[in-house]
Amino acid sequence: MKVIFQILSLCFLGLLPQKGYSQKNWKLVENKNGIMIFTRLAFSSKFKEVKVVTDLPGTTKQLINTILDVENHRTWVYGVKQAYPIEKQNNSPFIYYCEYSLPLVTDRDMVLEIKYSEGSKNQQAVMEINSIPEKLPEKKNLIRISKLFASWEIFPMSDKKMKVTYILRVDPAGEIPAFIYNPIVTRGPYKSFMKLKTMLQ
């Protein structure tokens, strides 16, 4: 059963903290291979949100292009069965569909909108990902995840290195109790960031 919740915890991409919600109360729960993972109980939710802080090789442009290349998410985003663009423009927003293959329980899917600002050289880039479940009709035999919002903050450190802060909050939907989901919510993000580091090298 642990594998199920590892997959759900990663769905790309968490919610930004609500206005007025404290930026504190993060607890460091994992720190290895240069990846620090924090959790805290999400605002008005029984599920924990996750924050990942790490340094990545490459450039801001490389990272943004990797995230926008949704058809290849299955190679590094833990649990993704398929993903494809729905509305693709030269600039943001960018809308895509993704599906997760889950053992023992019904597969999940979601429709996500990405908005981003690259910034100029040596400046912070920001990306936000928001669920828009009504964009596509729900599919049979899949549970639509309707509550997800993520943020990426990318700070260039040099021409070939950047510091990234990623925050994820998601309601996995369906009959998944928080007491099972919360203790293992960090495992999926850790595996994905390890693969992401390798891809960007």
> Domain-by-domain residue ranges, the chain?
2-200
Comparing 133 with 178, the larger pLDDT belongs to: 133
Reported confidence tier of residue 78, pLDDT bands at 50, 70, 90: confident
CATH number for the region 2-200 comes to 3.30.530.20
Residues 150, 11 contacting (CB under 8 angstroms): no
pLDDT at 151: 96
Residue showing tokens 């490389």: 62
Quick: pLDDT tens for 114-172.
999 887 666 789 999 999 999 999 999 999 999 998 999 999 999 899 999 999 988 88
Kindly tell me if the per-residue pLDDT of 9 is higher than 80: no
Which of 6-10, 81-85, 144-148, 171-175 has the weakest average pLDDT? 6-10
Length of the chain, in residues: 201
On whether the CB atoms of residues 109 and 144 are closer than 8 A, the answer is yes
Q: Which pLDDT score is estimated for 107?
A: 87
Which residues, including other chains, have CB under 8 Å from residue 105's CB and lie 6 or more apart? 4, 174, 176
Alpha-helical (H) ranges within 128-186 are 178-181
Contact (CB, 8 A) for 35 and 51: no
Termini Cα distance of the chain: 33
Distance CA(74)–CA(105), nearest Å, equals 19
pLDDT at res. 74 = 96
Q: CB–CB of 158/60 below 8 Å?
A: no
pLDDT at 76 over 90: yes
- What are the structure tokens assigned to 30, written together? 């994992």
Residues β-bridged to residue 108: 100, 143
Question: Please, are residues 152 and 166 in contact by the beta-carbon 8 Å criterion?
Answer: yes
Place of tokens 């994820």: 168
pLDDT tens digits along 84-125: 999 887 767 899 999 988 666 788 999 999 999 887 666 789
Give the pLDDT confidence of 30-73 residue by residue, as tens digits: 999 999 999 998 776 788 899 999 999 999 999 999 999 999 99
Residue-wise burial string across 96-133, b where 16 or more C-beta atoms lie within 10 A, e elsewhere: bbbbbebeebebbbbbbbbebebeeeeebbebbbbbeb
Residue 14 scores a pLDDT above 50: no
